[in-house]
């Protein structure tokens, strides 16, 4: 079936990329940089990261650490460098200087985008990438790791454990009642959840979510906060958001970025009282 809508085109692109990345993952020994080492309870370690675009420092000696299982929010004004930071973590942008480690041993600055994805860092972009004319269930099936899909083709139908896994993810993203619904007919919020479900099918250790509740209703935003809180522990999450009610509902530690560096960090109530944070962000 040829993709027709913009969303479907994006989905096809994402699926192709996954396929290609996993193909590379299967053939390259470089893609096996070892197990994720969480022995110091740190899943992400950024130190003095600098990224320049034509002399402009989008990131300026940025240092930040995320613990295993942590749910971290990142806030800050437009242009502060939040998305650029995610680009560095996923290997899309190479830093000019600084260190970036996934666990104790994986040097993200020396890994390719496919290696990083394969190692367990999943990213959700704002643009949805779902197959609109496939059901919610089928979308999750398509997102399953390729090695599992190869195994499936040998047995013609889904294995029980795979069905169970898809059912479990559907429950988590509150789409169990909509499993057989065409994805294109879901609400905006449900489509976003479906995409998060597709990420979860890849079993990432660290999830990066850039403005995940943009365009959602208040109700959907609340449900999304519950979902993220339930994912923490088993996964680590880094969530960039401008919606303060959402950030408050997540309840985790908050990092405030400004001009490419960390301006403040701590509980939301604490950073909200920080005069420097009020000056650059909250007071406007
Ligand atoms: N590829 C690029 N080339 C040149 N400049 C860039 C590039 N990517 C980002 N920038 C610039 O770097 C700065 C940081 O951008 P970034 O997108 O990381 O900010 P942000 O914190 O995500 O902002 P927002 O809240 O608006 O999403 C901005 O000034 C932006 O214009
Ligand atoms: Mg951004």
Q: Stretch 111-135: mean pLDDT, rounded?
A: 90
Verify whether ligand 1 is closer than 6 Å to residue 82 (CB atom): yes
pLDDT (0 to 100) of residue 31 = 47
pLDDT (0 to 100) of residue 29 = 46
pLDDT (0 to 100) of residue 84 = 97
Name the pLDDT band for 282 (thresholds 50, 70, 90).
confident
Q: Whose CA is nearest to atom 29 of ligand 1?
A: 79
- With a CB cutoff of 8 Å and minimum separation 6, the contacts of 63 are 46, 47, 48, 49, 262
Structure-derived torsion over alpha carbons of residues 159, 22, 24, 96, reported in degrees to the nearest 10: -160
pLDDT (0 to 100) of residue 159 = 75
The answer on pLDDT for 256 being more than 70 is yes
What pLDDT digit, counting tens, does each position of 192-217 carry?
999 999 999 999 999 999 999 999 99
pLDDT (0 to 100) of residue 129 = 83
Mean pLDDT over all residues of the chain?
Answer: 89
What pLDDT digit, counting tens, does each position of 28-66 carry?
544 455 689 999 999 999 999 999 999 999 999 999 999
Residue 52 or residue 127, greater confidence? 52
Contact 117, 23 (CB under 8 A): no
pLDDT (0 to 100) of residue 32 = 52
User: Could you identify the atom of ligand 1 that is nearest to the CA of residue 54?
Assistant: 4
pLDDT (0 to 100) of residue 147 = 55
- Best residue among 59, 77, 79 to mutate for probing ligand 1, ranked by most atoms within 8 Å of CB: 79
pLDDT (0 to 100) of residue 21 = 64
Of the ligands numbered here, which is closest to the C-alpha atom of 88? 1
Q: Whose CA is nearest to atom 16 of ligand 1?
A: 81
The residue count of the chain comes to: 284
- With a CB cutoff of 8 Å and minimum separation 6, the contacts of 45 are 65, 99, 100, 101
Task: Report the distance separating Cα 244 and Cα 177, nearest Å.
Answer: 30
DSSP strand pairing (206-210 vs 121-124): parallel
Of the ligands numbered here, which is closest to the C-alpha atom of 54? 1
DSSP 79: T
Distance 279 CA to ligand 1 centre (A): 20
What pLDDT digit, counting tens, does each position of 81-113 carry?
999 999 999 999 999 999 999 999 999 999 999
Q: Whose CA is nearest to atom 31 of ligand 1?
A: 79
Distance 85 CA to ligand 1 centre (A): 9
Verify whether ligand 1 is closer than 6 Å to residue 84 (CB atom): yes
Of the ligands numbered here, which is closest to the C-alpha atom of 242? 1
User: Could you identify the atom of ligand 1 that is nearest to the CA of residue 80?
Assistant: 21
Sheet holding 236-240, edge to edge: 121-124, 206-210, 236-240, 71-75, 254-258, 261-266
Question: Considering only CA atoms, which of 150, 138, 200 is closest in space to residue 11?
Answer: 138
Task: Report the distance separating Cα 9 and Cα 201, nearest Å.
Answer: 20
- With a CB cutoff of 8 Å and minimum separation 6, the contacts of 102 are 36, 43, 44, 108, 116, 119, 120, 121, 206
User: Could you identify the atom of ligand 1 that is nearest to the CA of residue 93?
Assistant: 1
Kindly provide the residue ranges of all beta strands, DSSP E only, lying in 114-235, ordered along the sequence. 121-124, 206-210
List the single range of 27-31, 121-125, 248-252 with lowest mean pLDDT.
Answer: 27-31
What pLDDT digit, counting tens, does each position of 144-187 carry?
865 555 555 555 566 778 889 999 999 999 999 999 999 999 99
Sheet holding 106-107, edge to edge: 56-67, 42-53, 97-102, 106-107
């Amino acid at each position: 079936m040829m993709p027709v809508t913009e969303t479907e085109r994006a989905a096809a692109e994402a699926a192709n990329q996954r396929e290609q990345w996993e193909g590379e993952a299967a053939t390259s020994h470089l893609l096996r940089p070892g197990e994720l080492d969480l022995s110091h309870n740190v899943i992400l370690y950024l130190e003095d990261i600098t990224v320049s675009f034509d002399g402009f420092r989008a990131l300026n000696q940025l240092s930040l650490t995320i613990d295993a299982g942590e749910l971290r929010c990142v806030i800050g004004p437009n242009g502060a460098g939040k998305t650029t930071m995610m680009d560095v973590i996923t290997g899309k942008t190479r830093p000019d200087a600084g260190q970036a480690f996934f666990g104790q041993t994986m040097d993200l600055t020396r890994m390719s985008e496919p290696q990083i994805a394969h190692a367990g860092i999943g990213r959700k972009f704002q643009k949805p990438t779902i197959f609109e004319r496939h059901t919610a269930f089928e979308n999750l099936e398509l997102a399953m790791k390729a090695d599992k899909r190869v195994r499936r083709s040998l047995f013609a139908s889904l294995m029980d454990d795979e069905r169970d896994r898809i059912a479990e993810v559907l429950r988590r993203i509150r789409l169990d009642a909509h499993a057989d619904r065409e994805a294109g007919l879901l609400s905006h919020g449900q489509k976003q959840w479906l995409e998060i479900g597709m990420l979860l099918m890849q079993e990432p250790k660290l999830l990066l979510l850039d403005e995940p509740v943009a365009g959602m209703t208040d109700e959907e935003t609340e449900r999304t906060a519950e979902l993220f809180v339930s994912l923490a522990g088993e996964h680590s999450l880094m969530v960039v958001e401008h919606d303060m009610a959402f950030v408050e509902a997540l309840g985790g530690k908050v990092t405030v970025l400004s001009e490419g560096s960390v301006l403040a960090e701590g509980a939301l109530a604490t950073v909200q009282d920080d005069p420097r944070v009020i000056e650059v962000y909250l007071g406007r």
